[in-house]
Amino acid sequence: MSENAAADDGGEIAVDFGDEGLVPAIAQDADSGEVLMLAYVSPEALARTRETGVAHYYSRSRDELWKKGDTSGHTQAVEQVRVDCDADSLLYIVEQDGGACHTGYHSCFHRTIDDTNVGERVFDPEEVYWLDVNRWVGWGRRRQANWR
């Protein structure tokens, strides 16, 4: 555990955001225990999550803070934030409203490595994101540029 990850005197854990200023955060359904998604969290995203009780993340592809559900309406009410043993990863225990995955599935982990669909599609992304099509296309172009 790094010095940044030591518990403060008040008992609160200091999250180790590392050199990039981000930590991975897993969102887990509070009722079923299903893993819904993995995203990254900045110090500001964590602070907003704690202040509002709604999941906030940091988009590496868009280079901006985002509140889960701002575009889709599929929000995550955060019941608890847990920290791993090294204080360099988070677990959001959430009440998911709608689908967690931008592709329309309840969970981003909706297929096996053999490409077998094991998840439930709960919305049509074309219907949900059609108003934001320019941003969606721009996001895809930036992602492709990052893959090269």
CA pair distance 127, 129, nearest whole angstrom = 6
The per-residue pLDDT for 10 is 61
Cα–Cα separations (whole angstroms), residue 111 to 77, 103, 137, 142: 25, 12, 24, 24
Residue 9 in this model has a pLDDT that exceeds 70 = no
- The domain covering 3-102 belongs, at the CATH homologous superfamily level, to Phosphoribosyl-AMP cyclohydrolase (3.10.20.810)
Q: Provide the pLDDT confidence category of residue 138 given band limits of 50, 70 and 90.
A: very low
Q: Residues 107-135: what's their mean pLDDT?
A: 84
